[in-house]
Amino acid sequence: MRISLKWLSEYVDLGSLAGGAQQGAPLAPAQPRSAAPVLAAADEVARRLTAVGFEVEAVERVGQGLAGVVAARILASEKHPNAEKLSVTKIDAGQGEPLQIVCGAKNYQVGDVVPLATVGTTLPGGTRIEKAKLRGVESFGMLCSARELGLSEDASGLLILDRGLAPGTPIADALGLEDVLLEVNVTPNRPDALSHVGLAREVAAILGQEVRLPRPALREAGAPAAEAVKVRIEAPEKCARYAARVVEGVKIGPSPQWLARRLEACGVRSISNVVDATNFALLELGHPLHAFDLDKVAGHEIVVRTARPGEKIVTLDGKERALEPDDLLIADRDRGSALAGVMGGGDSEISAGTTRVLVESAWFAPSGIRRTSRRHGLKTEASYRFERGADPGMVIPALDRCAALIAELAGGTVRPGIVDAHPRPHQAPAVRLRWRRPAELLGIDVARDEVRRILAGLGFEERASDADGATFGVPSWRVDVSLEEDLVEEIVRTKGYDAIPETLPANAVRTPVEPADAQVTARAREALEAAGFAEAVNFSFVAERDLAPFADPAATALRPIALKNPISADLAVMRTSLVPSLLRNASTNRRQRVEDVRLYEIARVYRPAPAGAPAPAAEEGELAGVLVGRRSPTGWAGGSDPVDFHDAKAAVAAVLEALGIDARWRARGGAWLHPRLSAEVLGADDAPLGEVGELHPRVAEAFELPRGVLAFRLSGAALVRGARLVPRYAGIPRFPAVLRDLAVVVAEGVEAGAVLAAVREEPLVEDATLFDVYRGPPIPAGKKNLALAIRYRAPDRTLTDTEADAAHARIVARLRGGLGAELRG
C-alpha cells in the first residue's frame, strides 16, 4: 500500500513526531502550505509503523529538486521541420520573451499550462537540462511529463497543469508537490489498514490521539433516491448489505490537479471526476465503491444475484467472461452489469455523457469474492480489499463521502436518502480476555490498566469485566480479531516485543535420537566426499523426457507424478531418479570447460503411494553419482587415464564399506546403462541395492554427453535396511600367516569374482587379493592371466609350509576342475 504522508497527516497530527506543530486541514489544499513539519516526521512514522507490524519497505521523497521547474503556457506549436515526431513550441515562461522549446509529446493544446524545466535544472532522475540543438532546431529547456518530475509513473505525455497558474510560477510551491510516499507492507489479516484513514488510526493509537475522520458536507435535494432506483439482494449469504445513492446533474470531466496527483502518487490513474471520486474515497477510507450510469441501469433496478447458467458479462477491461453460478453479479432488470466487488461491466460504465450517477457501497462475503477473482484472473483494488474483509461499519460513511465528492467535483445534487438493502446486519463479536492470559503467553505481566488503555486506543470497547477478566467488543474494521490470543497480540504489538525478556523453555526434553537414515546419509556423504565427489542439489522436478530411460520396467505407474501448474515443461514432473539431474549437471559443467566431474546427490525420489499410505506419494531416498574425466587430478607426478567402470565401482564400494554392507556385483545394470559395462549391486540375500556403470551410448547422446560417462544410483531404503553402522570386533590373529602368490590362466568369460570365490572356499585362506589381470602373449587369445596374492592362516597354530602347500594345491585343483584354469609360472 502506497501512502502519501501529507495525505495521512490530514487525519492524524504528525507534528509531535517531527518536533513541530502541524495543522490539520480539510480536503483540497486550495492554497499551498508548508509541508516541512510533516515531511520531517517521515522516518519516525516509518519506524513506528514498522514497530507495530506495518513494515515500511520504502520511504520515497518526491517533488524535491524541482527548483528550476516553472509553469509555462504554450503559445504556439508547429511541426519540427526535420523530425516527424517532434514539435517546435513557443512558450511563455514569465520571462517576457517567449522561449523556443522542442517537444516530443502530443497530448497538449495551445494555451495549456505545462511544467518547463529551465536551462540549468537537474531533474529528480538526474537529467541536466542544457541549451540544445535537436535536429537542427534550438531548444531552451524541456517540457516535462509527471514521470520526468518524479511525481508518478505517468510518462504518456506532458503533465497538464491548471490554466490559472501564472507562467513562471515555480511548480513545487504552486502545487504543493513535496511529499513523502511510504510503501507499507500490509499483511493479509489487516485489510482495515489498506487506506490512509486505516493507517492514521494506527498512528493515532501509537500517539494516543483520536483519528480525525472526514466529515462529508452532503447537501441533498430533489426527490428521494428511493424513487429513482430499487435494490434487491437475492444472495444475502454473499452480499450482506448493498447501499446506493443517486447524484443527478453531474458533468463528467477531468479531475482537478490536486486530486489527480494524489491518486497518481498512490499508483492509481486519474480517469474522470466521478471515477476519481470513488478511487479517492477508496484510498482514503479503504472501502471499495462503484459508480454506475443510472440511465444505463435497465428498469432502474439493481439486483444482486448469482450468475445464471451460461451467462456472460463484458468487464471494464473489455474481456467477455463466461460466468459460473458461484459468481456474484450486480445486475439490472435485464442483465449483469458488474462482477460484484471485483470489476464493473462495460455496459453501465460512466461515460462522457453520463448525467445521473448511482453510487454503490456494499459488503460482500470475502470467500466468494476471492473465488471469483481467482477464477477470472482479475485482481483489483476492490477485490483485494473485499476478499480480505471490508469494514461493515464503513459502508454508509464511504457512500456519503463519495456522493459528496462527486457533487463537489462534478456538480450535481445528491438525491435525499440512501437506498439500503441490509439483509444481514453485522454483529460485532466480543472477545473475553482473562487477566492472566497475557502473562501465560508472553512471559510478562501486563497491568490491567495498561491492557485497558491499549485496547481502548485501538477501538476495542470494554463491555463487562470481573476479577478474572473482561469482555471487549471488537471494532467493525478489525475482521482479524476473534480469539483471546488475538487480543494478547494487540497488547504486545503495542507494547513492543522489546518489553519481553529472553528465557529458555523449562519444559521436559526428550533425548534427541538421530534417525537411522540420517546416520546412513552422513556416512555415505563422508565416503563419497573422500572419493572426491562434490555434492549437488537439484530441483525435485525435471522434464518428463529426461526420466524415460530410467523408468522401472516393473513399475505399474505409467507416468511420474506430474505438476498441474509447472513453471515450464523442463520442471514438470517429480523425479523418480536423481541420475538425470546429475547428467544435466555434468553436461553443463563440461560446457563451462570443467572436464573432470564427480558429483553426487542424496535426495528423495517420488512415486505413487501404495493404497492406505499416510502420505499422498511414496518418497524414498536415493543416492546417485556421476563421474567423467580423469582418474586423478592433473599433476606433474601421475598419469591421467580417464575414469572407467571400476572407478565408479570403487566409489560405490566405498559407500557400501562405510555402511558395513557386503555386496555382490552382477553383470548388466538397467536399460540406461551400457549392457557390457555395467553391473547390478546386490546386498544380503541378493536384495537389489542399485546399479553402476557406463551410460548407454544413446542415453549419453540424449544428455549431450560424450562416451565414457559413469554413473550409479543406490536405493536409500535398501542401504538403511542393510547398513551395519556399529562394527563388531573380531580379534587380531595370534599366529603368523603364510603368503603365496598364484597365477592362473582362465577363459575371458570367467569372472574374477568366481576365481576369488573358489579360492576363498579353502578354509585356511584368510584373504585373497587380485593384483594383476594380463592379456596378450604368451597368453593365448581369448584367455587372461589372473595373479592373486593369497594369505593362509590357522587361528589356533602356526601354519607349516607343508600345510600351506597342501592348501595351495587344493585350490589349484579346484580352479582347474571348476573353472578350467591352468596354473602358470
Partner 1 sequence: MADLLGQLEALAKGAREAVGSAADEKALEDLRVRFLGKKGELSAVLRGMGALPAEERPRVGEVANRVRDEVEALLAGAKSRLDARKLEAELAGPPIDVTLPGRRVLPRGHRHPITRATEDISAIFARLGYEVASGPEIELDWFNFEALNIPPDHPARDMQDTFYVEASTLGDGAPDGSVLLRTHTSPVQIRAMQRLGVPPVRIICPGRVYRSDYDQTHSPMFHQVEGLCVGEGITFADLKGTLAAFARAYFGEGTRTRFRPSYFPFVEPGAEVDVSCSICGGTGRIPVRAQGQAGEPAQTRRCGTCKETGWLEVLGAGMVHPKVLENGGFDPKRYSGFAFGMGVERMAMLRYGIDDLRLYFENDLRFLEQF
Cβ closest to partner 1, residue 497 vs residue 771: 497
- Angle of helix 645-658 versus helix 516-530 axis, rounded to 10: 140
Q: Minimum Å distance from CB 518 to partner 1?
A: 6
Q: Which three cell numbers stand for residue 403?
A: 456522493
Assess 21 for contact with partner 1 (CB under 8 A).
no
Contact 636, 644 (CB under 8 A): no
Cβ closest to partner 1, residue 260 vs residue 431: 431
Q: Minimum Å distance from CB 449 to partner 1?
A: 21
Cβ closest to partner 1, residue 127 vs residue 367: 367
- Rounded Cα–Cα distance for residues 273 and 224 (Å): 24
Task: Evaluate the CA torsion angle 280, 281, 284, 288 in order and state its sign.
Answer: negative
Cβ closest to partner 1, residue 529 vs residue 704: 529
Assess 428 for contact with partner 1 (CB under 8 A).
no
- Report phi then psi at 760, rounded to 5: -75, -15
Q: Minimum Å distance from CB 185 to partner 1?
A: 9
Does 325 sit behind a cis peptide bond, omega within 30 degrees of 0 on the bond before it?
no
Assess 637 for contact with partner 1 (CB under 8 A).
yes
The stretch near partner 1 (CB under 8 A) out of 101-109, 166-174, 396-404, 603-611 is 603-611
- Restricting to residues 25-64, name those near partner 1 by CB under 8 A: 50-53, 55
Give me the amino acid identity at 329.
Answer: L
Contact 264, 152 (CB under 8 A): yes
Assess 594 for contact with partner 1 (CB under 8 A).
yes
The stretch near partner 1 (CB under 8 A) out of 113-121, 311-319, 411-419, 440-448 is 440-448
First to last CA, the chain: 90
- Rounded Cα–Cα distance for residues 825 and 745 (Å): 10
- Rounded Cα–Cα distance for residues 286 and 289 (Å): 9
- Restricting to residues 564-593, name those near partner 1 by CB under 8 A: 564-567, 571, 573-574, 585, 588-589, 592
x/- track of binding to partner 1 for residues 280-319 (CB under 8 A): ----------------------------------------
Assess 664 for contact with partner 1 (CB under 8 A).
no
The single residue among 38, 492, 714, 745 that binds partner 1, judged by CB under 8 A, is 492
The single residue among 443, 753, 795, 817 that binds partner 1, judged by CB under 8 A, is 443
Cβ closest to partner 1, residue 48 vs residue 300: 48
Closest CA to 380 of 340, 321, 337: 340
- Rounded Cα–Cα distance for residues 561 and 573 (Å): 6
Q: Minimum Å distance from CB 655 to partner 1?
A: 12
Q: Minimum Å distance from CB 790 to partner 1?
A: 26
- Rounded Cα–Cα distance for residues 707 and 695 (Å): 7
Cβ closest to partner 1, residue 609 vs residue 682: 609
Contact 242, 288 (CB under 8 A): no
Assess 504 for contact with partner 1 (CB under 8 A).
yes
Distances (CA, A) of 328 to 238, 363, 385, 546: 7, 12, 16, 45
3-state secondary structure 38-83: HHHCHHHHHHHHHHCCCEEEEEEEECCCCCCEEEEEEEEEEECCCC
Cell 524414498 sits at which residue?
620
Assess 635 for contact with partner 1 (CB under 8 A).
yes
The stretch near partner 1 (CB under 8 A) out of 346-354, 424-432, 594-602, 661-669 is 594-602
Helix H or strand E encompassing 18: helix 15-18
Q: Minimum Å distance from CB 491 to partner 1?
A: 9
Cβ closest to partner 1, residue 618 vs residue 779: 618
The single residue among 612, 727, 778, 825 that binds partner 1, judged by CB under 8 A, is 612
Assess 706 for contact with partner 1 (CB under 8 A).
no
- Rounded Cα–Cα distance for residues 143 and 88 (Å): 11
The single residue among 19, 24, 32, 616 that binds partner 1, judged by CB under 8 A, is 616
- In order, the DSSP letters of 608-665 are EPPTT-SSSEEEEEEEEEEEESBSS---SSS--PBP-HHHHHHHHHHHHHHTT---EE
x/- track of binding to partner 1 for residues 446-485 (CB under 8 A): -------------------------------------x-x
Assess 609 for contact with partner 1 (CB under 8 A).
yes
- Restricting to residues 506-525, name those near partner 1 by CB under 8 A: 506-510, 512-515, 518, 525
Contact 245, 403 (CB under 8 A): yes
x/- track of binding to partner 1 for residues 202-241 (CB under 8 A): ----------------------------------------
Q: Minimum Å distance from CB 219 to partner 1?
A: 39
- Bridge partners of residue 341, in order along the sequence: none
- Restricting to residues 638-657, name those near partner 1 by CB under 8 A: 638
Q: Minimum Å distance from CB 820 to partner 1?
A: 37
Closest CA to 241 of 353, 390, 126: 390
Q: Minimum Å distance from CB 509 to partner 1?
A: 4
The stretch near partner 1 (CB under 8 A) out of 109-117, 148-156, 181-189, 245-253 is 181-189
Count CA within 13 A, CB hemisphere, residue 77. 17
Assess 83 for contact with partner 1 (CB under 8 A).
no
Q: Minimum Å distance from CB 532 to partner 1?
A: 4
- Restricting to residues 111-140, name those near partner 1 by CB under 8 A: none
- Rounded Cα–Cα distance for residues 125 and 111 (Å): 28
Assess 440 for contact with partner 1 (CB under 8 A).
yes
- Restricting to residues 362-421, name those near partner 1 by CB under 8 A: 366-367, 370-371, 387-388
The stretch near partner 1 (CB under 8 A) out of 148-156, 487-495, 708-716, 794-802 is 487-495
Closest CA to 49 of 196, 164, 148: 196
- Rounded Cα–Cα distance for residues 349 and 275 (Å): 10
Q: Minimum Å distance from CB 385 to partner 1?
A: 10
Q: Which three cell numbers stand for residue 142?
A: 524541456
Cβ closest to partner 1, residue 96 vs residue 614: 614
Q: Minimum Å distance from CB 471 to partner 1?
A: 18
Question: How many residues line the site for partner 1 (CB under 8 A)?
Answer: 103
Assess 436 for contact with partner 1 (CB under 8 A).
no
Contact 417, 223 (CB under 8 A): no
Cβ closest to partner 1, residue 190 vs residue 784: 190
The single residue among 310, 610, 776, 825 that binds partner 1, judged by CB under 8 A, is 610
- Rounded Cα–Cα distance for residues 517 and 719 (Å): 9
Distances (CA, A) of 375 to 323, 371, 390, 460: 9, 6, 20, 36
The single residue among 19, 26, 633, 780 that binds partner 1, judged by CB under 8 A, is 633
Cβ closest to partner 1, residue 593 vs residue 728: 593
Assess 320 for contact with partner 1 (CB under 8 A).
no
377: region left, alpha or beta (phi > 0 left; psi from -120 to 50 alpha) = left
- Restricting to residues 527-566, name those near partner 1 by CB under 8 A: 528-541, 556-557, 559-566
**534-535 vs 597-608, strand pairing mode:** parallel
The stretch near partner 1 (CB under 8 A) out of 84-92, 297-305, 420-428, 612-620 is 612-620
The single residue among 164, 208, 310, 505 that binds partner 1, judged by CB under 8 A, is 505
Other beta carbons less than 10 A from residue 140's beta carbon: 20
